Every structure is written in structure tokens, then in C-alpha cells.
Amino acid sequence: MHNVSERGYATSHSLGAGDINGDGLLDIVDPYGWWEHPKPGSADQTWKYHPEAFPRYSHGFMGGAVMAVYDVNGDGLADVVTSLAAHGWGLAWFEQKRDAQGNISFVKHMVMYDFSTKNAGDVTFSELRGSGVGDINGDGLPDFLVSKRWYSHLDSGLDLYTFGPPVLYWYETVRDPKAPGGAKLVPHLIDNDSGVGNTVLAVDLNGDGAMDIVTSTRFGAFIFWGKPHPKKSAHTAGAYGCATCPPDVYIVRTLCFPRHLFAPGPAGIHG
């Protein structure tokens, strides 16, 4: 076993991996910053930690779920996309900046907060507890998947807007020089009746070239089958979401396990 971190705050809600500093080695991100992967051959020691304020405090918890590390705006520097509070509000991407000495910092671009703010696509939901990353429309840019987990802490009152619809969205990464930071995340609804527990998996399960989405939720486990773009045959690029086609995906939900009525478990369940 090799220690990455020193002892610290334990109940971190977010975690992700990606090459933040562009040295070819995967780094680890959490709500409070990122650990720099040591160079090969380095002495076995804890990784250097670079504090960053990625999360937002809400009802005793900081951070969301799976954090995505990719170049959102196409400037060659890896950015971070994450929900801010698993049991509250907030979704943002963090634009990486470098100063003249090469020091790394981040600028926060809010995508969604609560009903008092202007949110991307006028979409607002809470409890962004399940997330994932994948190129949903096949345009070569990673997209962010995020969902409301329904009824996380039962009737404890810990969660905000807990009975809101358990929606699942994919946020399309769109490069736009006019947008703050040079990019925006555009929401597309996948489902409004299942949500996600912790993690969303984006993978082409059946090999038809269209990304499929797998979730586990309070209501069971689901596959959302991506449907190849109907115009695919008219193009030779291979990707069904090619630049000349609309960025739509057509998704049908398949229930892997029988839907069951939600039965409240013992108080205090949390994950």
C-alpha cells in the first residue's frame, strides 16, 4: 500500500482523476484540491496537495460525486467539472489558469445553482449526488452526466428539495468563444423518473456506436440505450453525432431489474 494523502477530513463527497498539470501522469482531485502524481522514480511519499475550493458547503457535506477532469474550453489545459453539494445545490466547471511562473489556479463558472439563479437551459435540480463523464453525442468532446438522487436521507430533512423529480441530465460540452471561459455546458434531459445513486456509467454496451448509459437508483438499475443518429449513413466520419447533424441523441430506457415501490429503510441510511 502506498499513501497518497496525509490524514485529513474524511467525509469527502467528490473524487476524480485526470492529468491536471499536463505531465502525462494522472492526478487525483477531491472537493478541496488535487494531489499531484509524483514523477516516476520518486521516493515513496505522500503526493503533493494543491488546495482548491471546488465544493460548496451544504447541510454538513462538501462536494458532489464523480468529478470530471477534461479540457472543457479547448485551450490545452485540463479543467474540472463537478457538482458542488451532493445534498444541496450547485454545478460548476472550473477553468484552469496558469500564471507566468506556471502556477495553476482555477476560475469557477457556475452552470446551475438554485431557483434564485439563472441556470443553463433554465434547468434546476438539487441533490446532484450521482455523476459521470463520457462523450454522449460522439463529437469527440467529453460530456458530463449528472442526476438528482431521490430522497437521499429519507425524512431526515437533511436534503434540499428532496422530493423534486429524480432527473438525469447529460450536459453537452459546447465550445463557445462568447461564453464565460470559452465554453458552456448545455443540459439535455434523459429521464425524470429514476435519478441516480452515486455513479453513472457511459459506455457503448452493444457496440452500435451510440453511447449507452447505465444507472443504479432508488427505483432499480437501468440501461438507457443510445440510438445511433438516423443520418449516420449519410456521413463517413463514423461518429453518429457528427458536426453536420443535430446534437441530439435518442434514448430509450430499459429496466434491468423490476421496478419496485420505494420502501423506506432504517433511518440514517446514507451513501
Residues that bind Ca ion (CB under 5 A): 19, 21, 23, 25, 27, 37, 71, 73, 75, 77, 79, 135, 137, 139, 141, 143, 204, 206, 208, 210, 212, 226
Residue 185 CA to residue 164 CA, distance in Å, equals 22
Residue with smaller CB distance to Ca ion, 63 or 181:
181
Residue with smaller CB distance to Ca ion, 86 or 251:
251
Closest separation in Å from C-beta 25 to Ca ion:
4
Cell reading at 67: 468529478
Residue 4 CA to residue 104 CA, distance in Å, equals 20
How would you write 11-25 as a 3-class SS string?
CECCEEEECCCCCCC
Closest separation in Å from C-beta 164 to Ca ion:
26
Closest separation in Å from C-beta 247 to Ca ion:
8
Closest separation in Å from C-beta 203 to Ca ion:
8
Q: Is 181 helix (H, G, I), strand (E, B) or coil?
A: helix
Residue with smaller CB distance to Ca ion, 59 or 227:
227
Residue with smaller CB distance to Ca ion, 191 or 212:
212
- Closest to 187 measured CA to CA, from 177, 200, 174, 199: 174
- Closest to 189 measured CA to CA, from 222, 219, 224: 224
